[in-house]
A and B are shown apart, each in its own frame.
Chain A
Amino acid sequence: MNLISLRTPAKTLFTILAVVVFSIVSSFDLQAQEDGEKLFKSYCASCHSAGNNALVGPGLAGVYDKYEREWLYSWIKNSQALIASGDEQAVAVYEQYNKVLMPNQPVNNEQIDAILTYIKEYNEAAPAAEVASTDAAEVVEEGEAETSPYFIAAIVIALLMVVVILRKVQHLMKVVEARIKEEDIPEELTLGQAIGRTIQSNKTIFALMGIVVLCLFAKSGWDAAFGIGVYEGYEPEQPIKFSHELHAGTNGIDCNYCHNSASYSKSAGIPSANLCMNCHTYIQEGPQYGKEEISKIYAALDFDPVTKTYGPNQKPIKWVKVHNLPDHAYFNHSQHVTVGKIACQTCHGPVETYTVGKQYAPLTMGWCINCHRETKVQMDGNGYYDEIHERLPESLKKQYLEDGTITVSELGGIECAKCHY
């Protein structure tokens, strides 16, 4: 940026030279950095971050200035010997990080230098990247504005005012007309009288309109009555803004990882907070809400993200239940997931695109029955029915086996007592 402002030719020449020299030097540096990055990832990254945040071990930003190079060499190659020798710095680090031993790393001094160069470069580049990411987050935040009820009320009031004014004007015109014709000045009608007169003079039209309006009301009432107890589209706000889009979509975590009881229990299960901590012990900042939402897990577990210890004041997270089946209908996840091999998305929709969990299917009886009528049972590789089918009388064979497919309903999947007992 400043290059343009330098005017004198000598200065320009100097800057060009400087840029050339710098780029040559930094290209060497870049080479070292690339190797360093590779080495860092294969030897260090499963326990250390290159930044400031502590994972299993401390974040490595600043180690190149904090410790002597020679000390770092011997620590990285054999930290246990260094601790045993009673080296003060070594013992201090060991004590500070919960006495977790660092395994000896089979690297030489040049490789350690390359790793340290990479860490240094990483930290110099990091602040710029951070600024860019927060900018992106702000853009995402903007939502659509809904039409507020106050706005509608204002429009209604304005229309009423127009009606009142127009009626006044009409009355005035009549008064003027009467004056000109020198007749009696007519009385001003009330609004009710005016409406009454209009209806009386257009009886058929108003009767028809009345019938149409009645029908519309009746239909909306009928539809609404069908919606009683159907919670399709229920999308309540949860105590933590957990996004399935981020976890199951972007990061590709399998549904079963968190909802692991779906394959062997009636309920699919809301993961307990200890499962969140499998990753969020170390991932303390999310791409959308930063630390705000993740810190709610920590609050529930009374977890200190710096020392990584749990306190005694733990309280459950009050998730809002979305799918509420009535007590008189029995549903079992394991039957459908493990035995039926039905994909989660069949009933729950494209969950990996939801930012807020919602009820996708109506969960009505008609919806259940439809699926039981259409779904074919996988008979391949399942010897269970072979003999029964063999022994069936001809009439039943004709009825059930002739088309080559057996649906759930043909195996009794729409009997009342399968779900209501």
Chain B
Amino acid sequence: MNYKKNILNLVSALVLGSIVFVACGDSQSPGVEYMPDMYRSPAMEVYVDYEFPDSATSRKAPENSIPIGYRPYPYTNDLEGFELAGKDLRNPLQLTERTIKEGKKLYESFCAHCHGKKGLGKGSIQNAIYGAVPSYMDETPNRRGNRSMRDLKEGHIYQAIMYGLNAMGPHSSLIREQDRWKIVAYVQTLQGKDPIAMQQDKDAVKKDTAEESIESETN
């Protein structure tokens, strides 16, 4: 009879086991974990709850700490700062065909859904609020500082990416500094300009004026 009892025990264990496993097919639960001590990292991993009082894993940096590679941005988020950025701010990258190409790819990720792939303001966003994005080729002087979209200088465009403008939000936390400048250069091509040639011209002008000022100082 012992033999029979063993079989009965085995069957009931299997039934119980399979019930436990089947119960794990729930989409709300990740399932059974094998050796949790090898799964859970003692070092901090992103988006895992380490039971901080506010449950946020990404802790705030100590006060007054500065990120690596941080550069201060002196222009303020108002009309004055906007005008100043337009006047003084220049693209620090040496522009080539390649930077423009990279800018295009970044533009398509970060801008095209509102501004459209060709910069005509016809993006894929369906919401009516973003249904009237202006074209970069628009020449009506009704934008900030009574400029047209086509008049915007590289500094203006960079300032708009940093702080946002009107219904556009600030994008400085999404896009890194170098990438912002690549996007600026590509947007200039969408304005119908040639940023590479413009940069070369400016470099030439800069050299001339620098030489002149040295001359005037010596005089």
Which residues of A are interface residues toward B (Cβ below 8 A)? 40-47, 49, 55-56, 101, 103-106, 213-214, 217-218, 220-221, 224, 227-231, 233-237, 250-254, 256-257, 260, 264, 267, 269-270, 272, 274-275, 277-279, 281-283, 315-316, 318-319, 321, 324, 326-328, 358
Contacts and interface: CB of A to CB of B under 8 A. Distances in A.
A234 B27 contact: yes
A231 B30 contact: yes
A47 B164 CA distance: 13
Contact of A220 (B18, B47, B79, B123): B18
Contacts of B18: 217, 220-221, 224
Contact of B110 (A40, A237, A254, A358): A254
B75 interface: no
Nearest to A256: B109
A103 B145 CA distance: 7
Contact of B142 (A105, A233, A281, A324): A105
Contacts of A282: 129, 167
A214 B31 contact: no
B13 to A, nearest CB: 9
Nearest to B55: A318
A278 B134 contact: no
Given A214-B14, A316-B55, A228 B167 contact: no
Contacts of B128: 49
Given A228-B32, A229-B32, A278-B164, A42 B170 contact: no
Interface stretch (B35-43, B61-69, B84-92, B200-208): B35-43
Nearest to A285: B127
Which residue, A103, A231, A236, A272, has most C-beta atoms of chain B within 10 A? Answer: A103
B94 interface: no
Contacts, number: 160
A217 B33 contact: no
A103 B169 contact: no
Given A229-B32, A257-B110, A267-B46, A220 B140 contact: no
A278 B164 CA distance: 9
A254 B108 contact: yes
A404 B217 CA distance: 65
A103 B38 contact: no
Contact of B141 (A106, A217, A221): A106
Contacts of A40: 132
A253 B113 contact: yes
B118 interface: no
Contacts of B22: 220, 224
Interface in B41-80: 41, 45-49, 54-56, 79
A252 B124 contact: yes
B166 interface: yes
A358 B138 contact: no
Bin the interface of chain B by size.
35 or more
B180 to A, nearest CB: 12
A253 to B, nearest CB: 5
Contacts of B15: 217
30 contacts: A40-B132, A42-B132, A42-B134, A46-B134, A55-B166, A56-B167, A101-B79, A104-B146, A106-B141, A214-B14, A217-B15, A224-B24, A227-B21, A228-B31, A236-B27, A236-B29, A251-B125, A252-B123, A253-B124, A254-B109, A256-B110, A260-B109, A267-B46, A270-B47, A278-B168, A278-B169, A278-B170, A279-B130, A327-B40, A327-B41
B34 interface: yes
A254 B112 contact: yes
A42 B24 contact: no
Interface string B145-178: 1100000000000000000101111110111100
Contacts of A251: 113, 124-127
- Top 7 A-B residue pairs of the complex, sorted by shortest distance between their CB atoms: A278-B169, A252-B124, A45-B132, A224-B21, A327-B41, A217-B14, A256-B109
A316 B56 contact: yes
A214 B176 CA distance: 61
Contact of B167 (A47, A218, A319): A47
Contacts of B45: 327
A319 B46 CA distance: 12
A274 B54 CA distance: 18
A260 B180 CA distance: 13
B32 A358 contact: no
B113 A103 contact: no
B174 A257 contact: yes
A253 B106 CA distance: 13
B142 A326 contact: no
Contacts of A267: 46-47
Interface in B90-145: 108-110, 112-113, 123-134, 138, 140-145
B28 interface: yes
Given A41-B132, A272-B173, 16 more contacts: A41-B131, A45-B131, A46-B166, A55-B129, A55-B166, A106-B141, A224-B22, A235-B28, A236-B30, A251-B127, A260-B110, A278-B171, A316-B54, A318-B49, A319-B47, A327-B41
B81 interface: no
Contact of A106 (B31, B134, B142): B142
A252 B131 CA distance: 14
A271 B52 CA distance: 20
B169 A281 contact: yes
B113 A220 contact: no
A275 B174 contact: yes
A126 to B, nearest CB: 11
Contacts of B127: 251, 279, 283
A103 B142 contact: yes
Nearest to A255: B109
A103 B140 contact: no
